[in-house]
Chain A
């Protein structure tokens, strides 16, 4: 009877469980931030190295300053135009966040509809994939024609781009639940709403958040593209204007601020992820997140 020596715990195995069970579990904002601080030094070091290369290129004048401004020059531009850069950052951040929130709302609604209706699923999913093939950036000029130079067309472009990863990750996540888990819910007398709120939705969170992280970075891209096409505000516009004036220092400054915005928004989503599902992040501590 091989089951008598089946895998699983032994007397010592239980002791080991005792050890693992003590390890970090519930996470406060403090512990998450501490974790980042301890994980963050490697990428920071790499960043410093890149900064050094950049400085070296300008120091030995490998490229003329009007093409590649030095780090010092770029930094001076940033600190000399704090109001200008800040105001435009706020605009781009607003567009990005509005688009992101809307993409989460609509993306989740669409995912739920696809999971609960075979008809919607069979109709919408192929369309979604098709829509993903269409370069949505190419629609930006059209939106400007239709909606003018306000913030709406930028939000719309960013929303359109961010929507796809949300809906796909939401759909995959909501379907990822083990059917046996839903059987369990049935034996507990759960109705459809309870099954969704207590079982299906929490089970979808790991997938969903990986989609959200992609979506938030895409939303930044979408907002900037929207600004490129037609606007007089936002970091995208700053880049265009700087480009027109061959003010590469300002262009570099705007790029850096823009990257910082993207990183901050990404980390914000990750922070929420770690707070919402501490159980999951402890499992796959080492895994790398893709951010297209």
Chain B
């Protein structure tokens, strides 16, 4: 993560505004948002509820069309839903008629990946996320946190160049969440994936990200993009105890304002 040759931009959001037309009124979800995410970069997005964080991720995936501005993903303008990404939705969005394993393999089946590769990747991911032993469980038999891990496995199966995550660890208990954070950090380093993570946890954002994007109340604008450099992220407690960590979280909380902080 030290100084690298300049990387091209993986995601480029340029002057994007989004308005939703509802029966009662028009809602401006995002207003003039401009961000550039470099290839292989880890960027977190924090902001008050309803400020358009989920909308921002969906824009990148081509699931929502911007009212104004443009989005470019890996050099190509986003004009329709994109499949060169992995998406972890806020709700786990598991297919309740498929077992844990078959929820994960679905990703590979839809992409017509070779069967052997799907099986190998699935086994790897199940092991990595601590789902071993639950392969044949149905989603309704899992806790919210475990469901979210299945959803993470599914998003990673095809080794997407860009990973979009919408509050993936919101349903986890503190301990598991820390484990998953370390795990995600390791995955990110190993896979060279660009990550855009929406989170409610300032600590999580600072620990994981190279940059944290702080958004304002609705209509969502970018308040500030803070670079974060922690001394040693591979050691979770050391990273959390560092002065840089303290300074960054304090600054973000200040930006969000005590009132708007959810956590």
Contacts and interface: CB of A to CB of B under 8 A. Distances in A.
B87 interface: yes
Interface stretch (A167-175, A188-196, A253-261): A188-196
Contact of B263 (A2, A8, A23, A194): A2
**Chain A interface category by residue count:** 35 or more
B200 A190 contact: no
Interface in B78-93: 81-83, 85-87, 89-91, 93
A138 to B, nearest CB: 40
Contacts of B90: 180
A279 B93 contact: no
Nearest to A187: B87
Contacts of A10: 173
B144 A9 contact: yes
B134 A17 contact: yes
A6 B134 contact: no
Interface residues of B, number: 48
B63 to A, nearest CB: 5
A183 B145 contact: no
B68 to A, nearest CB: 22
Nearest to A17: B143
A21 B110 contact: no
Nearest to B148: A8
Contacts of B176: 8-9
B173 A8 contact: yes
Given A183-B58, A183-B63, A21 B142 contact: yes
B contacts with A: majority SS: loop
Contacts of A7: 144, 171
A187 B81 contact: yes
A186 B141 CA distance: 26
B96 interface: yes
Nearest to B137: A21
Interface in B150-203: 170-177, 200-203
A17 B137 CA distance: 10
A190 B177 CA distance: 31
A22 B133 CA distance: 10
Nearest to B167: A3
Contacts of A9: 143-146, 172-173, 176
Interface string A8-23: 1111011001101101
Given A8-B144, A189-B111, A25 B58 contact: no
Given A25-B136, A25-B137, A6 B172 contact: yes
Nearest to B144: A8
| For the complex of A and B, 5 pairs with smallest distance between CB atoms | A189-B83, A186-B81, A21-B137, A188-B110, A9-B143
Given A180-B90, A180-B93, A189-B111, 5 more contacts: A9-B143, A9-B173, A181-B93, A205-B97, A282-B140
